[in-house]
Amino acid sequence: MKKNTVLIIGAGVAGLMAAHLLSKAGKKVTVLEARNRTGGRINTVNNESFFKETELGAEFVHGDLPVTLALLQEADISYRSANAEMWRYKDGRFDENSMVIEDWDMLMQRLDEQQEDIPVWDFIEQHFPGERYEELRNSVWSYVSGYDTADPRNASTFALRNEWEHEEMEAQHRVQGGYCNMISYLSHSCKNNGGEVFLNAVVKHINWRPGHVVITLTDGAVYEAEKLIIAVPLGVLQAEAGETGAIHFEPSIGSHTTAIQQMGFGAVIKLLFAFEDAFWLDVDHVNIDKMGYLFSEEEIPTWWTQVPDQSKILTGWVGGPAAWDKAGKTDIEIRDEGLQSLANIFKIDTDELKGKLIAYRIMNWTADPFTRGSYAYDKVETAQSRKVLGKPVEDTIYFAGEYLYSGTAMGTVEAALSSGKIVAEKILY
């Protein structure tokens, strides 16, 4: 049995940020991570012949985000521009910088008039029925499920209104060397300050009383602490008893358990394709080399290049209900859906395109037992639930993760870092 001042479950960015700050302040910290690697939903592919600094998980710094950029500066990690044009492929043609959605102004006006929060799809069907608004309905469904990775049938109208009203096309960045460099810095900082990080440590049971926590792993190992930070993805906290990664509390944590189930957690599958040549540059369009993001109505609808970097890699993305529907598919099946989608867009024979593919990686985050989805989104009940989860259980059990963040950078590394920082400060001060 090992006694520690603070135990942290989860070596993702929220857990490691808390470990970094607590260990630096002199606390004895132990981090327990279920996977065989640190990073959680950060997973940089950086040691393979065909993928260099390529992200299977979090990829961009969405704007000049204060906590993220301050940590990169502290760690002496540089970042570079990821600014790129957004294109659309529809009805057989490519349109550059064509992201205007018809009737969007009317949508925002109706949103401003809405007095009661309801699921956004209920709102859309009430206010924009019929054939006249079919394109608007399709656009909202695609946007909410693709960008927010949410189910529009559950997502909060008020939360999306707030997101859309404050939406800005800010500068995008990529971390030099990949986000893994940030993870390495936080992990090494914890260890250098006397902390420990254990991998393949799957927590099964938490027995607690005020000021004392006993953790039991699936292999029977036991850890004790005065305080506990739970920094696993929301999808793991929502897992049913008996499922891989599910955590049992004894005694139960009451209102916190209820609040966990009232939070929204999205779904996503990410595809990395490395080709022998950048065939998309052969499209007869004068500015095709500026294309960064490409949105379509294909089975795998969203793709992006590495622009402004020159690369032969395409990244595919499918989120929301469509990703849930594909959660049980094999990597080969998802690969083939991706190739067919690209073949349809670029008018290339599928077998020819398959012959150009020299490497691929599929990251089915929704099927991953230690993630079980993508990132959080707000349901109607979420705002109140977030307040509940933001308070520790008897000053003993604390929660950290991107799902607790309520600022304008929801679902990002910034959100996770901010949450880890806040929890560490609660324990220290």
Domain membership of residue 141 (yes or no) is yes
Mean per-residue pLDDT, 3-27: 95
**Contact by Cβ (8 Å): 151, 319:** no
pLDDT class of 284 with cuts at 50, 70, 90: confident
Mean per-residue pLDDT, 252-271: 97
Domain membership of residue 126 (yes or no) is yes
For the chain, how many structural domains are there in total? 2
pTM of this structure: 0.95
Mean per-residue pLDDT, 403-429: 94
Q: Residues 260, 409: one domain?
A: yes
CATH number at residue 53: 3.50.50.60
The predicted pLDDT at position 4 comes to 65
Angle at which helices 157-165 and 120-127 pack, to 10 degrees?
80
Q: Residues 182, 259: one domain?
A: yes
Domain membership of residue 372 (yes or no) is no
Domain membership of residue 290 (yes or no) is yes
Which string of b and e fits 267-306 if b means at least 16 CB within 10 Å?
Answer: bbbbbbbbbeebbbeeeebeebeebbbbbbebbbbbbbbb
Please say if the pLDDT value at position 3 is more than 70: no
Of the chain, the percentage scoring pLDDT greater than 70 comes to: 98
Angle at which helices 13-24 and 413-428 pack, to 10 degrees?
30
The predicted pLDDT at position 285 comes to 81
Q: In this structure, what token pair is assigned to residue 211?
A: 């000021």
- Assign 3-state DSSP to the chain and report helix, strand, coil percentages, each to 5: 35, 25, 40
Domain membership of residue 105 (yes or no) is yes
Domain membership of residue 159 (yes or no) is yes
Q: In this structure, what token pair is assigned to residue 4?
A: 């520690």
Average pLDDT, the chain: 95
Q: Residues 217, 199: one domain?
A: yes
Q: Residues 117, 106: one domain?
A: yes
Domain membership of residue 50 (yes or no) is yes
Q: Residues 107, 62: one domain?
A: no
**Contact by Cβ (8 Å): 266, 375:** yes
Residue 99 domain boundaries: 84-170+268-364
